[in-house]
Amino acid sequence: PSPFPPPRPPGPPAPTPPASPAPGTAPSGDAPSADLVPPTLAMGRLPGRLASGAFADGIALRVRASEPSALEIAVLVTSRRRSDGRRRQLVLAKKSLELGDGTRVVRLRPRGRLLAGTSPFVVRVAVRATAVAGNDATAVKRIRVTATR
């Protein structure tokens, strides 16, 4: 399951121009085509392993999309099995950025009470970019959080 809500369906396709121009009008240029290609995401380096103390201070992340996009970034962890045998996805930190382009730097600090316990765990940093046309792309990286020594 995705950590983000389902994407909006793309808008209606651009209307097709008439076969011949109406009398008394000049022929128009090419009709604008719908953008069907999702943005590509590049995430900066993240450590593969991080001490829990450093993780509690926060994660700095650089994100670049290939076209102007709104970004949703989340740090997620899957809980241990509950008594009914199911697992739950917990959001430790999240941030949303408005439409923009270029490289953007985000610092995510996990909420303290969700970090209780000393056993190592794995978090996922998920980034979803949504372009102006409604196309979206998701990139995920994993970090193993170890006990502070």
Express as a percent the part of the chain with pLDDT over 90: 41
pLDDT attached to residue 56: 87
Q: How confident is the model at residue 121 (pLDDT cuts 50, 70, 90)?
A: confident
Mean pLDDT of 21-25: 55
Kindly report, residue by residue over 65-80, the tens digit of the pLDDT: 999 999 999 999 887 7
Question: Regarding predicted confidence, which is higher, 9 or 101?
Answer: 101
Pairing status of strand 89-100 against strand 69-78: antiparallel
Q: How confident is the model at residue 107 (pLDDT cuts 50, 70, 90)?
A: very high
Element at 43 (helix H, strand E): strand 41-43
| pTM given for the model | 0.72
Mean pLDDT of 103-107: 94
Average pLDDT, whole number, for the chain? 81
pLDDT attached to residue 22: 55
pLDDT attached to residue 134: 87
pLDDT at 63 over 90: yes
Contact by Cβ (8 Å): 72, 61: no
AA letter at 8: R
Alpha helices (runs of H) in the chain, residue ranges in sequence order: 52-57
